[in-house]
Structure 1
């Protein structure tokens, strides 16, 4: 037989085939089988090597995000890149954590400096760059390059003209703000909430105040007047007022707030129709049997707008992929952790989860910071002393599992928004409790639904394990939902739209009345010189010609 040698290039197919056979002999020998296998492997590798390698195209990759618009101002600012290959096709999985390099340069007082950035590979072909600045810049620009140095997008650099520092008070008109931030005209939950309150009178506010004070509810009485905020806190949970103030003050720095008077509930429990029947109360959450007007929770505000909460949904969008390494590397189990604040949670852990521990990892967590109101409360915690409470899990570690269970706590579990942002699928049970965005969520589109008693948990979990492709689509859709509906700018917009609808419903002009005890909630003095961007001028109304009627 001929000897086939590697001379630096692949031998022709005909010569290799001939080498397997001696003339006139049709028998196949064992050594021929081995050589044929080697040949087929070499042929496959040759085809792969011969195919044109696909690379990231900097020019075709897409740069976008609110961090490119100096008029969209928030403490945390974001720029995104959609990786595109040189054939013009979007990447839908990660081409590498170091695919892009972001540089944010600021000139202030004649000196240039590079701002600190956080860059996340989100694992779906997109990348997120987060940056902050608190000093007024004279000039500012963003440069994005591939790891080979190629310019990304359509510009060598993205200039930010007249960037405003978030702590600076630079309000614009409602119309201009809505245009710059891309605000939707309304939202499903806003329409539902205000359908119950076509008219809000001063008598309704006074009655609600009386009823809520009798119940010792924790509320803030707010009056917005001429762009200023006045408030008085009632009840024992005064500490939560700082979170409500924080968001309203942030909004007031960007847009002149409508004149309005309202009551803001700081407790977990909704108040309208519980302690203030048929009376307008603004809350962080509500239920099917209450009428509270809902705004994004303090967890959403802190985690999105300010980027300071541990459950930061923007960061979790990228950190989830970094933590897990991608879908195929996740544990093929359901995960849940939480406090024993209701019977449903405890029954699930001790029942379904315990009976199916090979598929479900569910445990009751220790109290946050091991806090108990009194030593007696700690002594009475039988589960703790029996060793049935586990250490709290780092939030990003949830995404090491494919399936995450979200269970109500005292009311709606405020973690849902952050769970939906990550690259695992969320199981959510039917519930009467809701936050501001629940009305726009769809089962089997953004999450996998469960019955309110969790009786179908194993059935739905088995469905998910058998429909991996469908589940991954749900994950992609839930992440996009968070990016569209729970972004920084979307949260600002939601608060503004609620304020506008509330003002439209008011049947009186609010004033800071004597005896209300309201004090002005003042903006903190910025620690930098401020330079507000030019705002659009109001169009002058045409004067009516004397002696003529309008047609």
Structure 2
């Protein structure tokens, strides 16, 4: 009998939820991948298993519990990269990137060969990222359930009730060049043109790519804008700020903020040239909360004095802090004071630790969204710098605040150790916020909302300067196939 008990226990560990407990009809599947016209570089959906009593299953079902496939009802095979991410709690993220496909699509979600929820899902208006088939803005934003605007956009555009096109370009070039690198963009008839100023303009690719991807999906209004290609925000004028767009803001400047090139590029290159994105982190959050190492953790280069100070604290207090510098570039290396430099590790390995220390780099640390979405408590340094979403967050609700000089790091880590319940509550609120508000659709919706409101404030005619070059769309064999209903809606919106 004892032998049979051990066999049964071993089977329970290997298969914690029997397949018979999973209800194919009660299991929930939802997300923009299942909506016509909700075109993004990578389409995604969410799966959560339910049992036959309609109770949510919160146990890990294994990596292969659900299978996601896509096909064309007429043509059959669709060239696509498909992935299902296991979140280890009965829920999954399914995602796929299509190549040279436009038109109808069938999405299948199965468990043990049987369809779940309302699968198969038949869609008529689905296009891969490289397909040029832009929709009227109302249709596209409705399909993605984009909000009408954002708090940060409203705040950034308050000083710019009217943008005079006849003068703003000349004023921006005179004020910010040649000491800074900027690019002047014009979007006309949904085509992209630009002229760059400055000595280092390589980062223009981080503005070219989202603009081209957006104009393949949605019809943007004609408008002009300038993007700051550097990390530091530029507009310091308090009396008459110029409307320059940056990827990072600060309390002492008045730049108009877009989502950082880092998180935007992670959306554009998802299932492509990047491995770190808002979804991949959710499937790689390390041990369960109770098994994580209860230390403050940091890895990064020496781009700020406070990072060195943190490394020094780690040398003296290794029981509370595990912080190390991965590369010395700005400051002199001093292993006696700051400890030995270490090799970079996978970002996913960060989450072996329960407490993540978010310390500024040259500006805001662009890793912050990924730290929030993981299963760890984030400690954030007080900072003048911010990304597009920071002002939605509250200290002690979404993160544990740290003084700018980090003098209270050890005190705050000790607090978290003693207040496990509150620490877990903060972590869950932060993770819920990030998973709800920093998805790929949210990043694209934010870009579109800013461009729309920016264009609405411009007075004058948008011009393509002789000095501008056209930013060409990639070549593709994908063809735009609009249904009669979509064409009818397009005509209505244009009228």
So what's the TM-score if we normalise by structure 2? 0.88
User: Number of aligned pairs?
Assistant: 472
What secondary structure, in the 3-state scheme, does the structure 2 residue paired with 1:382 have? Answer: coil
Q: What's the counterpart of residue 471 of structure 2?
A: 521
Give the 3 Å change call, closer, same or farther, for CA 325–114 of structure 1 in structure 2.
Answer: farther
The Cα shift of 1:61 comes to 1.6
Q: What's the counterpart of residue 476 of structure 1?
A: 428
Q: What's the counterpart of residue 231 of structure 2?
A: 268
Give the 3 Å change call, closer, same or farther, for CA 475–61 of structure 1 in structure 2.
Answer: farther
For 2:481 and 2:284, locate their aligned partners in 1 and report how far apart those are by CA, in whole Å. Answer: 35
The Cα shift of 1:404 comes to 0.6
Q: What's the counterpart of residue 487 of structure 1?
A: 439
Cα deviation, 1:438-460, whole Å, max 9, x if unaligned, reads: 11112222222222222222222
Query: Could you tell me which of 108, 111, 114 is aligned with 1:143?
Result: 108
The answer as to 2:287 corresponding to 1:325 is: yes
Show the 5 A alignment for 1:259-298: 259-273=222-236, 278-298=241-261
Give the 3 Å change call, closer, same or farther, for CA 267–114 of structure 1 in structure 2.
Answer: closer
The Cα shift of 1:513 comes to 3.8
Show the 5 A alignment for 1:101-116: 101-107=66-72, 110-112=75-77, 115-116=80-81
For 1:247 and 1:315, locate their aligned partners in 2 and report how far apart those are by CA, in whole Å. Answer: 21
* Structure label with greater radius of gyration: 1
Query: Could you tell me which of 67, 75, 93 is aligned with 1:128?
Result: 93
Give the 3 Å change call, closer, same or farther, for CA 165–192 of structure 1 in structure 2.
Answer: same
So what's the TM-score if we normalise by structure 1? 0.80
Give the 3 Å change call, closer, same or farther, for CA 63–392 of structure 1 in structure 2.
Answer: same
Give the conservation status (yes or no) of the 8 Å contact 1:220–1:234: yes
For 1:228 and 1:271, locate their aligned partners in 2 and report how far apart those are by CA, in whole Å. Answer: 27
For 1:432 and 1:193, locate their aligned partners in 2 and report how far apart those are by CA, in whole Å. Answer: 16
For 2:48 and 2:220, locate their aligned partners in 1 and report how far apart those are by CA, in whole Å. Answer: 36
What secondary structure, in the 3-state scheme, does the structure 2 residue paired with 1:94 have? Answer: coil
Query: Could you tell me which of 340, 343, 346 is aligned with 1:391?
Result: 343
The Cα shift of 1:511 comes to 1.4
Give the 3 Å change call, closer, same or farther, for CA 315–268 of structure 1 in structure 2.
Answer: same
Cα deviation, 1:341-390, whole Å, max 9, x if unaligned, reads: 1111111211x3222211210001126xxxx7xxxx9xx84348997211
The Cα shift of 1:297 comes to 0.9
Give the conservation status (yes or no) of the 8 Å contact 2:103–2:481: no
The Cα shift of 1:541 comes to 10
Give the 3 Å change call, closer, same or farther, for CA 150–476 of structure 1 in structure 2.
Answer: farther
The answer as to 2:25 corresponding to 1:59 is: yes
The Cα shift of 1:82 comes to 1.7
What secondary structure, in the 3-state scheme, does the structure 2 residue paired with 1:460 have? Answer: helix
Query: Could you tell me which of 344, 347, 364 is aligned with 2:306?
Result: 344
For 2:108 and 2:363, locate their aligned partners in 1 and report how far apart those are by CA, in whole Å. Answer: 45
Give the 3 Å change call, closer, same or farther, for CA 64–109 of structure 1 in structure 2.
Answer: closer
The Cα shift of 1:158 comes to 1.4
Give the conservation status (yes or no) of the 8 Å contact 1:299–1:309: no
| Farther-moved stretch of structure 1 (417-426 vs 245-254) | 417-426
Cα deviation, 1:376-421, whole Å, max 9, x if unaligned, reads: x9xx843489972110121110011111110000000111111111
Query: Could you tell me which of 152, 157, 164 is aligned with 2:120?
Result: 157
In terms of fraction of residues, the more strand-rich structure is 2
Cα deviation, 1:246-290, whole Å, max 9, x if unaligned, reads: 001111111111111111001001111179961111000110010
Q: What's the counterpart of residue 207 of structure 1?
A: 171
For 1:506 and 1:116, locate their aligned partners in 2 and report how far apart those are by CA, in whole Å. Answer: 41
The answer as to 2:404 corresponding to 1:452 is: yes
Cα deviation, 1:302-358, whole Å, max 9, x if unaligned, reads: 1124314343122111122xxx232222212221011111111111211x3222211
Query: Could you tell me which of 300, 316, 331 is aligned with 2:281?
Result: 316
The Cα shift of 1:437 comes to 0.7
The Cα shift of 1:115 comes to 4.4
Q: Which runs of 5+ in 1 are unaligned?
A: 1-5, 7-51, 543-551
For 2:366 and 2:290, locate their aligned partners in 1 and report how far apart those are by CA, in whole Å. Answer: 28
Cα deviation, 1:456-494, whole Å, max 9, x if unaligned, reads: 222221222223233233333222222222111111110
For 2:200 and 2:71, locate their aligned partners in 1 and report how far apart those are by CA, in whole Å. Answer: 41
For 2:68 and 2:154, locate their aligned partners in 1 and report how far apart those are by CA, in whole Å. Answer: 42
Cα deviation, 1:43-64, whole Å, max 9, x if unaligned, reads: xxxxxxxxx9992322212101
Q: What's the counterpart of residue 410 of structure 1?
A: 362
For 1:540 and 1:431, locate their aligned partners in 2 and report how far apart those are by CA, in whole Å. Answer: 44
Give the conservation status (yes or no) of the 8 Å contact 1:304–1:486: no
What secondary structure, in the 3-state scheme, does the structure 1 residue paired with 2:295 have? Answer: strand
For 1:541 and 1:233, locate their aligned partners in 2 and report how far apart those are by CA, in whole Å. Answer: 33
What secondary structure, in the 3-state scheme, does the structure 1 residue paired with 2:459 have? Answer: coil
Give the 3 Å change call, closer, same or farther, for CA 522–105 of structure 1 in structure 2.
Answer: same
For 2:456 and 2:493, locate their aligned partners in 1 and report how far apart those are by CA, in whole Å. Answer: 24
For 1:469 and 1:139, locate their aligned partners in 2 and report how far apart those are by CA, in whole Å. Answer: 49
The Cα shift of 1:108 comes to 8.3
What secondary structure, in the 3-state scheme, does the structure 2 residue paired with 1:208 have? Answer: helix
Cα deviation, 1:491-548, whole Å, max 9, x if unaligned, reads: 111011111111122122221244xx11111211114444345342333999xxxxxx
Q: What's the counterpart of residue 492 of structure 2?
A: 539
The answer as to 2:35 corresponding to 1:69 is: yes
What secondary structure, in the 3-state scheme, does the structure 2 residue paired with 1:129 have? Answer: strand
Q: What's the counterpart of residue 11 of structure 2?
A: none
Give the conservation status (yes or no) of the 8 Å contact 1:106–1:115: no
Query: Could you tell me which of 261, 265, 269 is aligned with 1:302?
Result: 265
Q: Which runs of 5+ in 2 are unaligned?
A: 2-17
Q: What's the counterpart of residue 37 of structure 1?
A: none
